[in-house]
């Protein structure tokens, strides 16, 4: 059944987005330092939860701990396997104050962790402890963003289930503040030569060490002031950009080197879930067909199981 997706107006909440983006980086870097390294940096990501974004369980000397953004009740919650917890109200607050408050809470819980405090993938950034300029938090706009992530996560999860090859979780990368899922052909990729601010080249090279078709969602930036879905292939095969894709309004951006579908088109669609699924499937086919992936070996159809066991379907 189609759902009513929230309106996301980048200009109306870009200050809140900039602040919360940096908050998620503080928490994401804690996960980075406490988790063992996984291929393609999958160990650093956050997950969409029923109330916001979560680190999931992370190890520390006393057992496990978890940090959750709750965008319903507007609080950050840190809980440990020893039964202790600390909370922090989410409100208009400078990044520096948020950073200091989080580490005060961790100290109370006897969790010892240090992070590199320079934001990743952000140009002209300042260390968290020195950032007093980003301090906005609009509760209503943050709820809208989180609701959109919930709906998108459901469609991405459904799309992910159609692949038996190597495929990433549906996860949130705090570096670029995007929700993504990536399929792999099983073949090696050429050495990646791109870079990002405050990101070691070898991290980017390992992340793109295999041939991929990747799709995701990001809420916009000053350079691209519109929430949108994206889909790209690495390496981009010949003919990829010319492949027809759905729905109407999706296009290939020569500047970005990827297919783009404005979020507003999905949001205003009579069936947003179908519109988004059409984009995910058609852009994946553009990559897989142009690069001659072994689709018969990598794809699956589990609808028979869903019909037999009554699984939720989008």
Digitized pLDDT (tens) for each residue of the chain, 314 residues in all = 456 999 999 999 999 999 999 999 999 999 999 999 999 999 999 999 999 999 999 999 999 999 999 999 999 999 999 999 999 999 999 999 999 999 999 999 999 999 999 999 999 899 999 999 999 999 999 999 999 999 999 999 999 999 999 999 999 999 999 999 999 999 999 999 999 999 999 999 999 999 999 999 999 999 999 999 999 999 999 999 999 999 999 999 999 999 999 999 999 999 999 999 999 999 999 999 999 999 999 999 877 666 766 665 55
CA distance 150 to 155: 9
Same domain, 156 and 295: yes
- β-partners of residue 233 are 213
Shared domain for 43 and 86, answered yes or no, is yes
Same-domain check for residues 203 and 184:
yes
Residues 252, 117 share a domain = no
Rounded (10°) angle between helices 10-34 and 95-108? 30
Domain final position from 106, 130, 154: 130
Contact in structure between 25 and 120 (CB atoms under 8 Å)? yes
**Where is the domain boundary, 85, 113, 130?**
130
Are 232 and 156 contained in the same domain? Answer: yes
Last residue of a domain, one of 130, 165, 183: 130
Q: Are residues 219 and 238 in the same domain?
A: yes
Whole-number pLDDT of residue 31: 98
Residue 311 domain flag: no
> How many domains does the chain fold into?
2
The residue written with tokens 């319903």 in the block is 72
Answer whether residue 220 is part of any domain: yes
Token digits of residue 164: 């038996």
Q: 144 with 284, same domain? A: yes
Tokens linked to 113: 């962790």
Residues 6+ apart with CB under 8 A from 97: 132, 135
What pLDDT is attached to residue 310? 63
Residue bearing tokens 């500047």:
255
DSSP letter at 158 equals H
* pLDDT at residue number 25: 98
User: Do 150 and 17 belong to one domain?
Assistant: no
Beta-bridge mates of residue 54: 47, 68
Could you tell me if 227 and 264 are in contact, meaning their C-beta atoms sit under 8 angstroms apart? yes
Is 312 part of a structural domain of the chain?
no
**Whether 276 contacts 120, CB under 8 Å:** no
Residue 1 has a pLDDT of 46
Is 106 found in the same domain as 58? Answer: yes
Residue 3 domain-assigned (yes or no): no
Structure tokens at 19: 């602040």
Q: Quick one: 211 and 271 in the same domain?
A: yes
Query: By the 8 A CB rule, do 192 and 203 touch?
Result: no
Per the structure, the complete domain to which residue 98 belongs is given by 10-130
Domain assignment present for 314: no
pTM of the model: 0.95
Structure tokens at 98: 């948020």
Same-domain check for residues 189 and 243: yes
Q: Is 89 among the domain residues?
A: yes
Residue 308 within any structural domain of the chain: no
**Has residue 36 been placed in a domain?**
yes
Question: Token pair for residue 32?
Answer: 């980075």
**Is residue 107 domain-shared with residue 237, that is, in the same domain?**
no
How many Å apart are CA 296 and CA 165, to the nearest integer? 10
């Amino acid at each position: 059944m189609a759902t009513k997706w929230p309106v996301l107006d980048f200009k109306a909440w870009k200050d809140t987005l900039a602040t919360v983006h940096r908050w998620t980086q503080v928490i994401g870097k804690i996960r980075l330092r406490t988790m063992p390294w996984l291929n393609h940096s999958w160990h650093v990501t956050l997950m969409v939860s029923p109330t916001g974004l979560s680190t999931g369980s992370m190890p520390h000397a006393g057992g496990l701990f978890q940090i959750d953004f709750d965008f319903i009740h507007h609080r950050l919650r840190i809980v440990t396997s020893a039964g202790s917890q600390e909370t922090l109200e989410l409100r208009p607050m400078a990044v520096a104050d948020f950073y200091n408050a989080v580490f005060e809470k961790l100290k109370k819980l006897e969790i010892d962790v240090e992070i590199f405090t320079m934001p990743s993938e952000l140009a002209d950034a300042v260390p968290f402890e020195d950032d007093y300029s980003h301090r906005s938090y609009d509760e209503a706009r943050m709820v809208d963003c989180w609701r959109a992530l919930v709906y998108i996560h459901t469609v991405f999860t459904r799309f992910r289930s159609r692949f038996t090859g190597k495929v990433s979780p549906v996860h949130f990368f705090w570096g670029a503040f995007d929700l993504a899922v990536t399929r792999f052909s099983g073949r090696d990729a050429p050495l990646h030569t791109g870079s990002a601010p405050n990101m070691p080249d070898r991290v980017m090279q390992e992340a793109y060490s295999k041939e991929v078709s990747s799709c995701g969602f990001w809420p916009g930036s000053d350079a691209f002031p519109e929430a949108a879905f994206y889909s790209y292939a690495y390496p981009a095969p010949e003919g990829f950009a010319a492949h027809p894709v759905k729905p109407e309004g999706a296009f290939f951006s020569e500047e970005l080197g990827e297919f783009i579908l404005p979020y507003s088109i999905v949001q205003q669609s009579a069936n947003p879930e179908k519109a988004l699924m059409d984009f995910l499937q058609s852009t994946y086919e553009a990559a897989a067909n142009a690069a001659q992936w072994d689709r018969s070996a990598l794809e699956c159809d589990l609808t028979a199981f869903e019909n037999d066991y009554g699984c939720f379907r989008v």
